[in-house]
Structure 1
Amino acid sequence: MTQILTRPEVAPTRTDGLEEALTCVDVLPVTHDVKTFLLARQHDSALVFDAGQYLTLTLEIDGERVQRCYTISSAPTRPGTLAITVKRVPGGPVSNWLHDHLVPGGEVWATGPHGDFCHVRHPAGKYLFLTAGSGITPAMSMLRTLQDGGLADVVFVHSARTPEDIIFRDELDAIAAVGGALVTVICEADSPTESWRGPTGRLGLRNLLGVPDLHDREVFTCGPTGYMAATRQILEQAGVDPARCHEELYDLAARGAAPSTGDDAELSGTRYDVELRRTGRRIDCADNETLLHAAHRAGLNPPSMCSEGMCGTCRLTLLAGAVDMQHQGGIRQRDIDQGEILICCSTPTGDVVLDV
């Protein structure tokens, strides 16, 4: 999404959306290493969001400020709940902190919702969801929403390592039992306590060709990097229209390793002055370089994660000047109207002043 932004004359009043502490009201076990955290706003109002969107959590762990993005796994059609479902990642500071320390009564700071990985942005009568591991969470939010509407034809294919790793297993079984969706779960191997009787191995072309009305479906894919690459290739082999395919890499932290604009390309000779108002520093930024890359080049390390305009972590206020921002849903229009930008996907079109 491309927008040319200048600092607005008058900032409108901020309306709904989230930038506040949420209170944990319950913790539900999902699998041996996955928990769902039910969260509530302190002023007891519902959060308006689209199924598939996510929140950015900010925590202080061992004296360090860290941020991570987690999909809202609950459905917007059920306003009494707001939930994130988190898998414990070995060595992952945030997921382990949440599993070990977030209990009812505890609080987390959250902003959002963010993201365009939402079925409402691509309305259709028939959907196909392809997920693996924790990538099931946005698809589950969309499935629950579509179930509540009762109007869509849904095929849901989930890949898990073993039966004990199937996230939302009981709910998927219940949905399949009543015919709410055609659900298939593929396991790579048996678990120590259960031999899997369903499809085994990994998602392949044969699985896709067995999907009824495959070429008439809007396809949403979410999972780890290897799964996404393989699924993209399989969809191409099956002849699915790429315009119908929408994907999201669930590990946004992995996206943070991706280079910002300017890392792999020669920087333009046209440079603009970037004033960091509160620190008093000035840096230069090429007109084909993101503000985030220019900051890194100057030895600065502003908060950032996805580097693709998706997570909203690098949001700052533009006090003066103009930028070309190409975001992917990580910032709301009302925030843009107030002069806020994402520096990971903003290139200057002149001298700029940032509130940092």
Structure 2
Amino acid sequence: MSDMKDLVSAVPVWKDSEPLECVSVVPEAPHTASFSFRAPSGALFSYEPGQFLTLEIPAPDQPGGVVHRTYTISSSPSRPRSITITAKAQADSIGTRWMLDNLQPGMRIKAIGPAGVFSNSNSSARRYLFISAGTGITPMMSMTTCMWDEGRELDVVFINCAKRPSEIIFRQRLEQMASRTPGLDLKFVVEDPDPYRPWTGYQGQFNQLMLGLMAPDYLDREVYCCGPEPFMTAVREALGGLGFDMDNYHQESFGAPVETEADQPDLDDVVLDSDTSAEIHFATSGVTAKVAETDTVLAAARNAGLNIPSGCTFGLCGTCKVKKSSGEVHMVHNGGISDDDIAAGYILACCSNPIGKVEVEF
């Protein structure tokens, strides 16, 4: 064993002054593939699970003939002889589209990194909640694989959202891992099923109700989230609305992964304060109620003796929909109101909190 350790310590670590050589291209989902690389010198890769690489990709039609694109590493540092990124080409993709169409084993490409601070490698938490959408699954795969390889006792609720079941990346690999330990609890959410293939799992947009069903003990878990910005905003609002301690929340953006803690963006989420007052005027009834920001419009109405019809009180059924004629509210719903209704000024009273002065047509 000591001879093996001496051998590994004698092998150099890859530096980004050396190009990467592609060794495999594996299709994962529509327009999505995993690209694995080795160091031509035989150097090993050292990085933290969840970090990213920036690739320099040929682009003859672009200024300078190249584009730089950032990809989270989907492989684990516990397997240091190769390094893998997993990418999906969008309709307007340039770099990823070139890789899917042209990159083949034996070709070399320049890379910068690894870099990034989105990792659980320094966390002391024992229980995790990984929430991702689309290719945001890649850092979660890296972190989960690393813990698996290290023989750690897993306690991970792993949630991934995709448009269809066929677009769930790493599904088979994750199911294989989960079938060998009770500590990896997989939850998949899709917008629509694949044609002619029944889907019996969660369907729709990720929301508070799903979170409570998937991870009832979410308050006790360290949360890592990655996906498109609107998705991460929805996750933060769901957690914040349920009283989660956001000091235990970490996220990585699709568009702008950060290299240092100082580069982390400030999240401009609304934080409701029970000590901050608000005012709701129920115009039709002629009643004005002074409340705290943490009070919902529905609760304020009931306390004022008004009966706004309601059902679920979770923003799901839409029974309590009322028209807001002025002012601002913070609404975190679970699908009970359409975007068109919101644009027309309607709110769900059960999950809307007043900000300042608000007038409601009731």
TM-score (norm 2): 0.65
| Correspondence for 1:77 | 78
Aligned 1:259-274 pairs, distance under 5 A: none
Aligned to 2:353: none
1:194 matches 2:194: no
Asked if 2 retains the 8 angstrom alpha-carbon contact of 1:24 and 1:40, the reply is yes
Matches within 5 A, 1:114-193: 114-149=115-150, 150-178=152-180, 179-193=182-196
* Alignment map for 1:259-298 (pairs within 5 Å): none
The one of 231, 238, 249 equivalent to 1:234 is: 238
CA contact (8 A) 2:160 2:187 kept: yes
Cα distance in structure 1, aligned partners of 2:13 and 2:175: 39
Gaps of 5+ in 2: 1-11, 266-362
Contact 1:21 1:41 in 2 (8 A): yes
Offset of residue 84 of structure 1: 0.5
Question: Letter of the aligned partner of 1:234 in structure 2?
Answer: A
C-alpha deviation, 1:212, in angstroms? 4.0
**2:153, 2:183 within 8 Å by CA — same for their partners in 1?**
no
How far residue 194 of structure 1 moved from its aligned partner, in angstroms, is: 1.9
- The 1-side partners of 2:196 and 2:233 are apart by 31
* Residue 219 of structure 1 pairs with residue 250 of structure 2: no
Q: Give the Cα–Cα distance (whole angstroms) in 2 for the partners of residues 123 and 106 of structure 1.
A: 40
Change in Cα spacing, 1:45 to 1:193, as seen in structure 2 (3 Å) is farther
* Distance change in 2, residues 1:183/1:39 (3 Å): same
Q: In structure 2, the residue corresponding to 1:129 is in which secondary structure?
A: strand
Higher alpha-carbon Rg: 2
Deviation of 1:17 after TM superposition, in Å, equals 4.0
Classify 1:104/1:16 alpha carbon distance in 2 versus 1 (closer, same or farther; 3 Å). closer
Per the TM alignment, residue 191 of structure 1 is displaced from its structure 2 partner at its CA by 1.4
Distance 2:196 2:159 in 1: 23
Give distance in 2, aligned partners of 1:50 and 1:72: 9
Tell me if the contact between 1:56 and 1:311 (Cα under 8 Å) persists in the aligned partners: no
> How many angstroms apart in 1 are the aligned matches of 2:204 and 2:77?
34
Native 8 Å contact 2:33 2:88 kept in 1: yes
Matching residue of 1:106:
107
Aligned AA (1:44): G
Report the 3-state secondary structure (helix = DSSP H, G, I; strand = E; otherwise coil) of the residue aligned with 1:142: helix
Moved more, 131-140 or 210-219: 210-219
| 2:208 maps to which of 199, 205, 210 | 205
Q: What is the percentage of aligned positions where both structures have the same residue? A: 35
**TM-score, normalization by structure 1:** 0.66
1:251 aligned partner:
255
The residue type equivalent to 1:162 in the other structure is R
Q: Which has the higher contact order (CA 8 A, sep 6+)?
A: 1
Shift of 1:237: 1.3
Q: Distance in 2 between matches of 1:116 and 1:48?
A: 14
Number of residue equivalences? 248
* Partner residue, 1:263: none
Instruction: State the 1:42 CA deviation.
Output: 1.2
Q: Which amino acid aligns with 1:132?
A: A
SS at match of 2:105: coil
Paired position in structure 2 for 1:28? 26
Cα distance 1:15–1:141, how it changes in 2: closer, same or farther (>3 A)?
closer
Verify the 8 A CA contact 1:51 1:141 in the aligned structure 2.
yes
**Which moved further from structure 2: 49-58 or 84-93?**
84-93
1:45 CA drift (Å): 1.3
Q: 2: CA distance between counterparts of 1:251 and 1:195?
A: 33
SS at match of 1:120: coil
Gap runs ≥5 in structure 1? 1-13, 253-305, 313-324, 330-356
Amino acid at match of 1:144: T
- How big is the shift at 1:163? 0.8
> Is contact 1:124–1:152 with CA below 8 Å preserved after alignment?
no
CA drift at 1:59: 1.9
Deviation at 1:326, TM superposition (A): 3.9
RMSD: 2.1
How many Å separate the matches in 1 of 2:15 and 2:196? 44
Paired letter, 2:172: D
Q: CA deviation at 1:89?
A: 1.4
